[in-house]
Amino acid sequence: MRCKHYFASIIVSLSLSFLFINNLYAKGIADPAEGWNHLWYELMVDIIIIGVIFAVLTLYLLLRYRRKQPDEEGQGPELSPLAALGWALIPTFIFLADDIFLGAKNFELWNKYRNIPENAYAINLESAMWSWEFNYPEGIKATNELRVPAGEPIMLKMTSRDVVHNLFIPEYKVKWEIRPGTMDTIWFYPKKTGEYVMTCVEFCGVLHSSMHGKVIVMQKDEFSKWIETEKNKIK
């Protein structure tokens, strides 16, 4: 009896800890990247909690019904058909419930991700074998370098000049297939200055591996100066 009470206490404690930590962590999603990070965190916590519970249960059953003598066969209790069905279905429902919950959170985040902020700074992106060409609203063009201001949502309006490409910026958790003849949009929210990788993750020809570039996040005043400098070069 003590083992059963101890096992039940472990389950209750782990469940309450999970709920407490989860609620603390889920206070607001500032941008899509943080949303995907939070969803990954929930996935890892769920796997750990469920894994620990099932590992403890398995260990308990192995120890409780193990054989005690070399010539003895370990024997568990005889289960009624209803009990056997319960042991089979309850774990299945636990896994399914967790999968459905995470799937619903994924769809919820996806819908938010597709709602582009009205004040997003829009830049046109034309992909081609094997480079990225960015066209700014001020008439500036840049190749393989996307300069953006920090603290401002950025929208990319994307099309392809030739074949299917796929833009991936790991830092901001954005990835989208770019097809010829169509215009697709994605957005991200750079908050810290720095340089980040962008690359094509869909095979697009013999130089596919060299189709990469940089996202350069600048302070707003530095970005404005860069815009003015590049505009003067056009004149």
What distance in Å separates the CA atoms of residue 188 and residue 113, rounded to the nearest whole number? 9
Q: Is residue 169 very low, low, confident or very high in pLDDT (cuts 50, 70, 90)?
A: very high
pLDDT value for 61: 81
Instruction: Return contacts of 224-231, CB within 8 angstroms, 24+ apart.
Output: 224/149, 226/147, 227/136, 227/138, 227/140, 230/136, 230/138, 230/140, 231/138, 231/139, 231/140
Q: Domains of the chain: which residue ranges? A: 34-61+84-115, 121-234
Topology annotation, domain 121-234: Immunoglobulin-like (2.60.40)
**Tens of pLDDT along 145-168?**
999 999 889 999 999 999 999 999
Q: Which amino acid is at 179?
A: R
Least confident of 21-35, 96-110, 159-173, 198-212: 21-35
Hey, CA dihedral for 199, 204, 209, 212, is it positive or negative?
negative
Of 111, 115, 90, 139, nearest to 187 (Cα)? Answer: 115
Query: Tell me: the pLDDT tens digits for 198-223?
Result: 999 989 889 999 999 999 999 999 99
pTM: 0.66
What is the rounded (10 degree) CA torsion for 110, 112, 114, 115? 170
Matching residue, tokens 């019904």: 65
Residue 139 near residue 234 (C-beta atoms within 8 A): yes
